[in-house]
A and B are shown apart, each in its own frame.
Chain A
Amino acid sequence: QVQLQESGPGLVKPSETLSLTCTVSGGSISGYYWSWIRQPPGNRPEWIGQIYYGGSTNYNPSLDSRVTISVDTSKNQFSLRLSSVTAADTAVYYCVRDWDGDSHFDSWGQGILVTVSS
């Protein structure tokens, strides 16, 4: 079973850029689609966007202008950048295997809480 692990700062200042990395182990990042999902406290998960191992991306229109997802196949990692953050971006951020060729969201990271505060 593939394993995913998020890493990055747990505290980001308003107006700055949130940056997270997901390291995939137990399997290759190649051949699959990968997503970032966030979950504000007490709310449902929200899909942020996805990336194919080849680099093509697809973002949630609600965040499109602020989101960049990239991939580094040599490190088996993919990353999230979310610019101009506000308190509304405070959430647990998950990296997820989006599509395994047959189904969606079968493997999740443990999540990382990112708080936006000065």
Chain B
Amino acid sequence: DVVLTQSPLSLPVTLGQPASISCRSSQSLVHSNGNTYLNWFQQRPGQSPRRLIYKVSNRDSGVPDRFSGSGSGTDFTLKISRVETEDVGVYYCMQGTSRIRTFGQGTKVEIK
């Protein structure tokens, strides 16, 4: 299985400051069709995961533009340009390149 390793696992951030989460894959996430199926999800307390970013850097409809995704191959990053109160929650990277879909361990974002 593809193993996704996120860091940090806990991220205390001051309101209005940037935040960055890393996701590293145990193997390249480039599919045979040339696409890279690395996605980012936000899970607020008591809610279902919500997709924020798909195929590395595509923002989903309704997602604030302070969220951005980047990376290639095995190294990926989710950035929040200015953290707001509503951004508190756990963030997961997830890969769909492999037949067996897998998730990272999650990064808990909290306000300092």
* Chain A interfacial positions (CB closer than 8 Å to B): 35, 44-47, 58, 60-61, 94, 98-99, 102-106, 108-111
Contacts and interface: CB of A to CB of B under 8 A. Distances in A.
A105 B92 contact: no
Contacts of B49: 45, 94, 105, 108
A104 B54 contact: yes
A106 B51 contact: yes
Contact of A94 (B48, B58, B99, B100): B48
8 contacts: A44-B106, A46-B103, A94-B48, A103-B37, A105-B49, A105-B51, A108-B50, A111-B48
Interface residues of B, number: 22
A105 B48 contact: no
A105 B39 contact: yes
B101 A44 contact: no
B79 interface: no
Nearest to A100: B54
Contacts of B104: 44
A61 B48 contact: no
Main secondary structure of the interface of A (DSSP, over half): strand
Contact of A106 (B48, B54, B105): B54
A46 B102 CA distance: 7
Interface in B53-112: 54-55, 58, 60, 92, 94, 96, 99-106
Nearest 9 CB-CB pairs, A to B? A104-B96, A103-B54, A47-B101, A108-B48, A44-B103, A45-B103, A44-B106, A111-B48, A44-B105
Contacts of A46: 103
Among B48, B94, B104, B106, residue most surrounded by chain A Cβ atoms (within 10 Å):
B48
A98 B100 CA distance: 12
A55 B32 CA distance: 24
A102 B61 CA distance: 14
A98 B64 CA distance: 23
* Most chain B CB atoms below 10 A, which of A61, A108, A111: A108
Contacts of B51: 105-106
Interface string B34-52: 0001010100000011110
Nearest to A45: B103
